[in-house]
Chain A
Amino acid sequence: MRTTRITTIAAAAALVGLPLAVGPASADDHGGSELTAELTQLNDSGASGTAWAKVDGTQVEVKVETTGLLDGAPHAQHIHIGGQGVCPSNDQEGSGFEGALQTTDAADQYGGVAVSLTMEPGETGPDAALDVDNFPTGASNTYSRTITVSDEVAQQIADGDGVVVVHGVDHDGSGAYDGDTKSDLDPSLPSEATDPAACGELDVAQMAMPEGGVETGGADTSGVEYPAVLGLGGLAMALGAFGLIATRRRATR
């Protein structure tokens, strides 16, 4: 039913000379050095997000989008490597506040910190794992940075061995990092500040991911269709009518 309409349109488009350029098809190449992760909550934090990384030599471009985190508090975030390269489950219990999972409780799953995802001017090595001054502090964050890593780390991330972990959970709902339980990473911090809030495994993307959305819109259907045809048609009618009237006048004179 639609096909007849569509062929009409195609014919019309061809006549009017609408976009006819055919893009050259690029070569098939699956995979590449892009990686993606879906971040899901740990410790019932309510946090979620996505991560994307692209490895080029020892340069790793990283984007992390998070939402549902404690607002106004620093959220340490890292690429962990080691262990089994996997995330624990949300209901996995640990040695923290009322059975909360602390960072080291799941070290056999996601390994240790390989890259600290700090903002400029923070360092990016494991030593900067708790550089609270340079981590995002919002409930929702969009993070982007290109980081230079070692050959080994670059290779491990490119192979899909990295796990993105975002930290900082307000277990007691007080609106701040507090409580009597001390952090397993730094006893001077409350455990809430470092407990894992979200986790996602960086998997090798199966394609070179296109940029942005897709311009498959063509044109609007909510407004007037074929405005040019309508306009020119109207103009032709007006001209014709005007001409007829003018010639008539001259004839009667």
Chain B
Amino acid sequence: MNSGKDSARRRHTLVVAACAALLAVGGSAVAWAASRQVEEPPAPPAAGVTADVTAEPPTAQRATPQPSTPRPSTRQPGSSTRDASGVTPLPASRPVAVRIPGIGVDSPVHGLGLDDEGRLRVPSGARYNQVAWYDGSPTPGEVGPAVLEGHVTGSGYAPSVFFELGNTRPGDRIEVDRADGSTAAFEVTEVRSAPKTDFPRVDVYGATTGPELRVITCGGTFDTSTGHHLDNVIVFASLVRD
């Protein structure tokens, strides 16, 4: 009977075709993944960088020269007075976009809040690779530290919006467009890398006397057991006159 032989041949052809397809698809997948290998994100110099070039201990950088005569009761916490050089704060207006020309960042900005445990939510879904503003923090240009955050890498294992944030340096400019049409211009004063387990909450989120900006992402050692970077890169900036 020929029909048996025919169906066997047909089956054989099918199997060969399927295997060839597997080979082709698998091969192109491997090739694609190979083309996607990415280098580590840049990290700021170990000691962190400040606008103060003198090699003085952090306490010295923080301490602001104060007259020995009793000051009026306007509060001036150390770190924030540094660059609050009489710049007029802006009225509240939500941020809509941010640009950091020095590292090629130009992103829309959306608002995010805290989760049930009080942790800052992070960009996700269609906005995964966009910058977020913590909507519980001041709007950029208002008095206080406005908080922006973005991913360093994607769940797709590729550079995300703040991949280069660790390459930011004091003096770099950060511009934030606001819903009212104005732009708040900031200048970087310090770039720090801090372990998430010992996050400098007070320095980053604490009270400031002038309008400031904090830009946060992750860098440093990757913990494969938790699937997250162990360090946050934090850029500190102050509002400047345009």
Interface residues of A (CB under 8 A from B): 1-2, 5-6, 8-10, 12-14, 16, 18-30, 35-38, 40-41, 46-48, 50-52, 68, 84-86, 88-93, 108-109, 160, 200-201, 203-226, 229-230, 232-244, 247, 250-251
Contacts and interface: CB of A to CB of B under 8 A. Distances in A.
B15 A26 contact: no
Contact of B224 (A90, A160, A220): A220
Given A21-B124, A68-B59, A240 B118 contact: no
B232 A213 contact: yes
B44 to A, nearest CB: 15
Interface residues of B, number: 109
Interface stretch (B24-32, B45-53, B169-177, B183-191): B24-32
B210 to A, nearest CB: 11
Nearest to A241: B23
Contact of B113 (A23, A91, A203, A216): A23
Given A23-B121, A30-B144, A217-B153, A247 B207 contact: no
Contacts of A85: 73, 75
B138 interface: yes
Contacts of A6: 129, 154, 158-161
Contacts of B123: 216
B37 A224 contact: yes
Interface string B138-152: 100011110101111
Contact of B75 (A68, A160, A240): A160
Contact of B112 (A9, A23, A47, A206): A23
Given A30-B138, A236-B25, A244 B154 contact: no
Contacts of B134: 207, 210
